[in-house]
């Protein structure tokens, strides 16, 4: 990402006012260094703390954001690349948070056509999704297995 750098000349009276009125921190220390001539230039970078998606435009669960309109998934501010089917499965489960679905129900919701009676297909997709979105895929936080039935998106977080 290209960064633009701008320079601002700071007169001593403004610098003293800033030093006296800023809370303790790096900026106040930087102003102090300017006044004591420990340095002659101070660079300030604006930290981008905005979330990748406004909450109202997507599904939010802890550190995970799912935006169905743009088909993007972000966890802890980092975008996660999912295949179209992985995204469809994740979005379907998240949209129906807390509801348990069999593998057949997930298949029918996401694929066009007849169910192929192949449970390993859905299991493989769930495993791939977990590897990408879960902090610890072996102890999933988001996509949970309901033994003997199927899967659900966690509604307790």
Domain with CATH 1.10.10.10 in the chain: 55-153
Alpha-carbon span 142 to 137, nearest angstrom = 10
Q: Please choose, from the candidates 133, 129, 126, the residue with its C-alpha nearest in 3D space to the C-alpha of residue 79.
A: 133
Partners of 7 in the beta sheet?
none
User: Could you tell me how many helices (H) and strands (E) the chain has, helices first?
Assistant: 5, 7
Q: What is the pLDDT of residue 115?
A: 59
Q: What is the pLDDT of residue 41?
A: 83
HSE (side-chain half, CA atoms, 13 Å) at 72? 12
- Write out the E strands in 18-141: 59-61, 64-67, 72-75, 78-80, 101-102
Q: Model confidence over 39-52: pLDDT tens digits?
A: 888 877 766 555 55
* Per-residue pLDDT band at 35 (split at 50, 70, 90): confident
Q: Which single residue is written with the structure tokens 């129906």? A: 96
Q: What is the pLDDT of residue 54?
A: 53
* Per-residue pLDDT band at 20 (split at 50, 70, 90): confident
Quick check: 101 and 93 in contact, CB under 8 A? yes
Tell me the backbone φ, ψ of residue 73, rounded to 5 degrees: -125, 135
- CATH 3.90.700.10 applies to domain 55-153: no
Q: Model confidence over 75-85: pLDDT tens digits?
A: 988 999 999 99
Most confident stretch, 56-60, 98-102, 103-107, 113-117: 98-102
Alpha-carbon span 117 to 104, nearest angstrom = 8
């Amino acid at each position: 990402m290209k960064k633009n750098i701008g320079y601002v000349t700071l007169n001593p009276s403004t610098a003293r006012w800033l030093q006296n009125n800023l809370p303790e921190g790096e900026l106040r220390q930087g102003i102090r260094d300017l006044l004591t001539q420990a340095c002659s230039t101070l660079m300030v970078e604006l930290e981008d703390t905005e979330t990748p998606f406004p909450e109202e435009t997507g599904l939010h669960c802890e550190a995970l954001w799912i935006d169905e309109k743009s088909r993007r998934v972000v966890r802890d501010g980092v975008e996660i690349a999912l295949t179209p089917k992985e995204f469809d499965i994740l979005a379907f489960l998240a949209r129906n948070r807390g509801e348990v679905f069999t593998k057949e129900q997930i298949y029918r919701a996401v694929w066009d056509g007849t169910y192929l009676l192949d449970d390993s297909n859905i299991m493989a997709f769930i495993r791939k999704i977990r590897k990408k979105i879960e902090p610890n895929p072996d102890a999933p936080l988001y996509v949970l297995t309901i033994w003997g039935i199927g899967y659900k998106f966690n509604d307790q977080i």
